[in-house]
Structure 1
Amino acid sequence: MRIAILGGTRFIGRAVVERLAAEGHELLVVHRGEHEPAGLPAVEHAHVDRHDGPALAAALTPFGVEGLVDISGMNAAAADAALDAVGASVKLVAISSGDVYRAYDGLHSERTTDGVPLTEESPLRERRFVDGPQYENLELEERYLPRGATVLRLGAVYGEHDYQRRFEFVLRRVRAGRKRIPVGSGQFLFSRVYVGDVATAVSLALSGDHRGTAFNVVEPVTAPYRLFAEQILAAAGASDVELVTVRDDLLPEDLSLTGALSQHLLMDSSKAHAVLGWAPADVSASLRRSVRWHLANPPSDGSDDFSADDAVLD
């Protein structure tokens, strides 16, 4: 299949490109040219601002696109530009997030709004979080689903090349040789998914016919945050590090997710299992692989200030 990928050079996009290239698809990676990391598969690139509809159409039309994977869709304007650039026969896959659910708003407004796990039928947010050229997955879905796209609602994505550094709340302390880490009650449930398993879901969505359907794509078992921290420590070979329970109001800011939160973000992926035929690979192996990469590739702006830890641990 001839597949255009909007945003295919960084974290999720990179994994998707690697997966689809390995499967033998002909790919066109559309991006602005700001990120050209080494090690990407040798596929065709088009340096285009995806918000420029005419320029995007000019890049996609001669390629003869049969499938479109939108990873960098930000809002209605971004989705409209992409949809206007392709014909009705093009198979569409759009990456969204569990932030479309009302529970996400509940978490950020310190309310408990919904029971969990969240299914694809759970209430969506009414409140919009952005105004202007920023991310709003509700707008993205409102454009793509009526056009027959398969929408993948992801949990917290982790893995190699994760620029959000979801393990850093533990690993920056491991790198510094810290032997005690303050944590809260650690019961928060936040569904996760490995980036390689996201690429698998994209491949399955392209190969099937699931028009106008949204799927939660998350691991079926979610460790509460304290156990998650313990799993990261074990994968890092740092099981001797002690997690010390402290009051939530004393937690350093980057450890706030280990405290007591108002609303869990636990998502149910049974529909993806049953309909897409999706299942994650070995989750333990994925975690170990991810931790190894993050230890070997520390962030350039990582902080070595642990005064907030010391203040609560002393």
Structure 2
Amino acid sequence: MTRTQTALVIGGTRFIGRHTVAEFREAGYDVYMLNRGNHENPFADAEDVTHVQGDRTDRDALLDARDKADPDVVVDCVAYYPADVEAAVEVFSDVGGYVYISSGSAYDSEEIPKRESETPLCPCSDKQATDESGSTYGNRKAEGDRIVFEAAKEGVNAMSIRPCIVYGPYDYTERLDFWIDRVATHDRVLIPGDGDNIWHRAYVEDVAHALRLVAERGEPGEAYNVGDRQLVTLREMVELIADVMDREIEVVAADGRELAAGGLEPDDYMLYREYPHVLDTCKLAGLGWESTPIQEAMERTIEEHLESDRDGSEHDPGRDAEERVLGVLDTM
């Protein structure tokens, strides 16, 4: 009798981890999840998903999960510090595939596009390796990549994927929820800059699929970028949301000087980036990966958004301030 393959997902209940568990289940794996149990488990009633409670920063918890799951592959969704990756590549040195989720933020160059084996990675000092601020996120992720590469040289089947900004159902960051709510509640949607700025995004189900493909087919010591095959500008993204929601809106672009009339700056807005951030995904496509058409991805995202209570209000720069900007623009 053929043994069912087992996947261990470190994380597993929120956003990328949740979709990763679903991806491996659909592929016929028995799935174990290691997490602290602080969030509702969407797979509590699933017979093919086993929860192992523990803190991933505790090496003994990693060992316990390894021994209980006896995994063929491991996906590490919550390794935010180099020490996390160091422990994982040691504990899971004998698995068929260990995949570390890095980030497009690990790149230390504004090349267009950013390529896995060509674009330099961010440096990481000892201080940055333990820093908890968002400013060192890319440094820490890059150092995790380097640990993966070194482990592969020692025979560990370790790989990494580098997603750009991830969006989709169950996104607790509410980055895209802000824009969906803006389209749903206002006829005039203010966007920063000229609206043509590009920040490459990746649909979460495609990220989960990439994780499985890399775990099964990836080359140890390699990194794989993940991002939508079709890129859209910020304006096009808002217009796509409106199209899916069947909303007639006016998209109004305002540059920095115009936003200042409301005491706003372009960086006050989610998913705005002055310089384009684009990842080359050809290496991942070589493993047989394809991305979901953006219309379909947005439809699924909005459908779940409407069933949730998320509105992205924590990212709201203030509608009153926007109205002042719109008023100034109307007089120009």
* Same fold (TM > 0.5): yes
What is the match of residue 330 of structure 2? none
Question: Residues 45-60 of structure 1 correspond to what in structure 2 (within 5 A)?
Answer: 45-60=51-66
The answer to whether the 8 A contact 2:160-2:224 is kept is yes
1:89 Cα deviation after fit: 4.1
What is the match of residue 86 of structure 1? 92
Counterpart AA for 1:119: R
Whole-angstrom distance in 1 between the partners of 2:59 and 2:95: 18
Range that drifts further, 32-41 or 213-222: 32-41
Whole-angstrom distance in 2 between the partners of 1:170 and 1:51: 34
Whole-angstrom distance in 2 between the partners of 1:87 and 1:127: 24
Are positions 1:299 and 2:310 aligned together?
yes
Question: Residues 75-154 of structure 1 correspond to what in structure 2 (within 5 A)?
Answer: 75-103=81-109, 114-120=110-116, 121-126=118-123, 130-132=128-130, 134=132, 135=137, 136-148=140-152, 149-154=158-163
1:282 to 281, 288, 293: 293
Cα distance, 1:284–1:300 mapped onto 2, change above 3 Å = closer
What is the match of residue 189 of structure 2? 181
The answer to whether the 8 A contact 1:236-1:292 is kept is no
Question: What does the per-residue CA deviation read over 1:129-182, in whole Å, with 9 as the maximum and x for residues that have no partner?
Answer: 94526442112212222223121110111100011223234222234x311122
Cα distance, 1:300–1:271 mapped onto 2, change above 3 Å = closer
The answer to whether the 8 A contact 1:116-1:265 is kept is yes
What is the match of residue 77 of structure 2? 71
What SS does the aligned partner of 2:313 have?
coil
Are positions 1:29 and 2:33 aligned together?
yes
TM-score by length of 2: 0.83
Whole-angstrom distance in 2 between the partners of 1:167 and 1:153: 20
Whole-angstrom distance in 2 between the partners of 1:255 and 1:169: 12
The answer to whether the 8 A contact 1:97-1:152 is kept is yes
Are positions 1:272 and 2:284 aligned together?
yes
Are positions 1:213 and 2:222 aligned together?
yes
What is the match of residue 8 of structure 1? 12
Are positions 1:170 and 2:183 aligned together?
no
Question: What does the per-residue CA deviation read over 1:218-253, in whole Å, with 9 as the maximum and x for residues that have no partner?
Answer: 112211111111112212221x11011222244446
Cα distance, 1:260–1:268 mapped onto 2, change above 3 Å = closer
2:321 to 292, 299, 308: 308
The answer to whether the 8 A contact 2:181-2:312 is kept is no
Task: List alignment gaps of at least 5 residues for structure 2.
Answer: 153-157, 328-332
Range that drifts further, 93-102 or 32-41: 32-41
Are positions 1:248 and 2:256 aligned together?
yes
Q: Percent identity?
A: 29
TM-score by length of 1: 0.87
Counterpart AA for 2:143: E
What is the match of residue 155 of structure 2? none
What is the match of residue 110 of structure 1? none
Whole-angstrom distance in 2 between the partners of 1:53 and 1:5: 15
Cα distance, 1:34–1:260 mapped onto 2, change above 3 Å = closer
How many residues were matched structurally?
300
Whole-angstrom distance in 2 between the partners of 1:37 and 1:249: 47
Range that drifts further, 135-144 or 165-174: 165-174
